[in-house]
Chains A and B, each alone.
Chain A
Amino acid sequence: MKNKRYVLSFFILGCLVLLFLALNLCAGSVAVPLREVLGILLGKETDEVFRDIIMTIRFPRTLAAAILGGGLALSGYLLQTFFHNPIAGPFTLGISSGAKLVVALVMVFSLGWSLHVSSLLMIGAAFVGAMISMGFVLLMSRVMDNMSMLIVSGVMIGYICSAVTDFIVTFADDSNIVNLHNWSKGSFSGITWENVALMGMVIFLTSFFVFLMSKPISAYQMGEAYARNMGVNIQLFRTLLVLLSSVLSACVTAFAGPVSFVGIAVPHLVKSLLRTTKPLFMIPGCFLGGAVFCLLCDLLARVLLAPTELSISTVTAVFGAPIVILIMVRRRKEKAE
Chain B
Amino acid sequence: MKEFYFYTEGLTVGYHGVPLIKNIEIRLKRGEILTLIGPNGAGKTTILKSIIRQLAPIDGVVWLDGGEVRKLSGNEFSKKLSVVLTDRVKPELMTCEDVVATGRYPYTGRFGMLSQEDWGLAHEAMELVHVGELRDRDFTKISDGQKQRVMLARAICQEPDMIVLDEPTSFLDIRYKLEFLSILQRMSREKNLSVIMSLHELELAGRISDKLLCVKGDKVDRFGTPEEVFTPGYISELYGMTAGSYDEASGNLELEAVKREPEVFVIAGNGSGTALFRRLQRDGISFAAGILWENDLDCPAAKALASEVVTERAFCPIGADKVERAKKLMDSCQRVICTLDLEGTGEWTRELKGLVGYAGEIGKLEG
Contacts and interface: CB of A to CB of B under 8 A. Distances in A.
Contacts, number: 70
Given A229-B82, A230-B78, A215 B92 contact: no
A261 to B, nearest CB: 20
A225 B105 CA distance: 14
Contact of B54 (A214, A218, A219, A225): A225
Contact of B83 (A84, A214, A229): A229
A285 to B, nearest CB: 13
Nearest to A274: B93
Interface residues of A, number: 23
Nearest to A233: B74
Contacts of B113: 280
Interface string B106-122: 10101111000000000
A215 B112 contact: yes
A275 interface: yes
A280 B111 contact: yes
A18 to B, nearest CB: 27
A218 B102 contact: yes
A223 interface: yes
Interface string A269-284: 0010001110010000
A277 B89 contact: no
Given A215-B111, A229-B83, A221 B91 contact: yes
B104 to A, nearest CB: 9
Contacts of B337: none
Given A223-B87, A230-B106, A277 B74 contact: no
Interface of B: 52-54, 73-78, 81-83, 85, 87, 89-94, 99, 102, 105-106, 108, 110-113, 140, 158
Nearest first, the 6 A-B pairs at minimum CB distance are: A231-B74, A215-B112, A231-B78, A230-B105, A231-B75, A277-B92
Given A226-B85, A230-B106, A271-B93, 11 more contacts: A218-B112, A221-B94, A225-B83, A228-B54, A229-B54, A230-B158, A231-B75, A231-B106, A277-B93, A280-B111, A280-B113
13 contacts: A84-B90, A219-B112, A221-B92, A223-B89, A229-B81, A229-B83, A231-B73, A231-B77, A232-B74, A271-B93, A276-B93, A277-B93, A280-B111
